[in-house]
């Protein structure tokens, strides 16, 4: 085990995938830049050349279509969208083509593409550069959506995405890139569709996605000082969702707070709550199910307003305490 940052673990995963398999390629904006995608692609172009590390023009729709075509031709492309906001331009090749191919051809053809989208929140970037739109892709049949939160999981999940055989939207957050954790040097996989308990507790369950897992863990520490024992659950995969893991935890604690980096209405938090409400495995709930997500308004461009817009540990502590009381 070594201590690596999230960005370093992701870079190592890319190197190992390209080294081991000639069908793996990486394509997208800024992949030859040492900094454009947060140093996650450092050294790739030098070792694997521009035939497998392809820096593209800014044309999200065309580049995504090309990557889907490469996947149909036998490659396993990792397609980079350095701003998740602008993946909207590529909805036709993602939602109409890649997502439906396996179904339309009766399982005889598939699109083994990993669509890597990066959330860029904060930093006074404003509404068009601060959007976490993962719930949109989870709504589309035929697409899996993964959201790793640790260096260990990002390395293992990326490998699982590449070899899944069908389209996977792989979402990370720039706020994760400096977080450190233990990472094996060897190649390994983390199973898609399995969540993890990051901290055990008995008074309430906090389900958090992506970067907010770390804010939830900080909140759990503060709640412990108030005599509240919070269990923190990281789904890792939004679709397919590990519903059994969540049901088991909430069945124990009797309370649920879902924390998500997307907007409140019709988002990932709402889906998780709906799954719990419909599940017959939970016989007793001690408090109403609660979600904590972004307000239904565009992100502000003011640093002062951003502090109130994006959710942090103190917001989680406040809502969790209300549930327990």
Burial 212-234 (b: 16+ CB within 10 A, else e): bbbbbbebbebbeeeebebbbbb
- pLDDT tens for the 325 residues of the chain, in order: 899 999 999 999 999 999 999 999 999 998 998 778 988 999 999 999 999 999 999 999 999 999 999 999 999 999 999 999 999 999 999 999 999 999 999 999 999 999 999 998 877 888 888 889 999 999 999 999 999 999 999 999 999 999 999 999 999 999 999 999 999 999 999 999 999 999 999 999 999 999 999 999 999 999 999 999 999 999 999 999 999 999 999 999 999 999 999 999 999 999 999 999 998 877 789 999 999 999 999 999 998 999 899 999 999 999 999 999 8
Task: Provide the whole-model pTM.
Answer: 0.94
Span(s) in the chain for CATH 3.40.50.920: 196-324
Active centre residues (catalytic)? 60, 129
Check the CA dihedral 215-218-222-224 and report its sign: positive
Return the CATH architecture of domain 2-183.
3-Layer(aba) Sandwich (3.40)
The greatest distance separating any two alpha carbons of the chain, rounded to the nearest whole angstrom, comes to: 59
CATH of domain 196-324: 3.40.50.920
* CB neighbour class for 172 (10 Å; exposed up to 12, middle 13-18, buried from 19): buried
Span(s) in the chain for CATH 3.40.50.970: 2-183
């Amino acid at each position: 085990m070594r201590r690596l940052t999230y960005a370093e673990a992701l870079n190592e995963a890319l190197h190992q995938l390209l080294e081991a398999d000639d069908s793996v390629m990486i394509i997208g904006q800024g992949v030859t830049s040492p900094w454009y995608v947060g140093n996650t692609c450092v050294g790739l172009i030098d070792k694997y050349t521009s035939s497998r590390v392809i820096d593209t023009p800014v044309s999200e729709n065309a580049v995504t279509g090309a990557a889907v075509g490469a996947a149909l031709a036998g490659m396993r492309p990792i397609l980079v969208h350095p701003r998740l906001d602008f993946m909207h331009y590529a909805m036709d090749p993602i939602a109409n083509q890649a997502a439906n191919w396996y179904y339309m051809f009766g399982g005889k053809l598939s699109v083994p593409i990993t669509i890597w989208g990066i959330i860029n929140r904060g930093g006074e970037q404003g509404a068009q550069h601060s959007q976490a739109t993962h719930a949109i892709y989870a709504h589309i049949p035929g697409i899996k959506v993964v959201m790793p939160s640790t260096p260990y999981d990002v390395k293992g999940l990326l490998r699982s995405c590449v070899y899944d055989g069908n389209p996977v939207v792989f979402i990370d957050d720039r706020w994760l890139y400096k977080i450190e954790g233990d990472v094996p040097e060897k190649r390994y996989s983390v199973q898609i569709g399995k969540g993890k308990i990051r901290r055990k507790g008995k008074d309430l369950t906090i389900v958090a996605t992506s970067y907010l897992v770390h804010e939830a863990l900080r909140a759990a520490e503060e709640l412990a000082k108030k005599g509240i024992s919070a269990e923190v659950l990281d789904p890792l995969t939004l679709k397919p969702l590990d519903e059994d893991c969540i049901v088991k935890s909430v069945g124990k604690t009797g309370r649920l707070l879902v924390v998500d980096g997307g907007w409140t209405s019709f988002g990932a938090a709402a889906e998780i709550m709906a799954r719990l409400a419909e599940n017959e495995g939970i016989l007793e709930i001690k408090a109403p199910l609660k979600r904590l997500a972004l307000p239904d308004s565009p992100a502000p461009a003011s640093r002062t307003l951003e502090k109130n817009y994006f959710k942090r540990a103190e917001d989680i502590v406040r809502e969790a305490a209300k549930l327990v009381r």
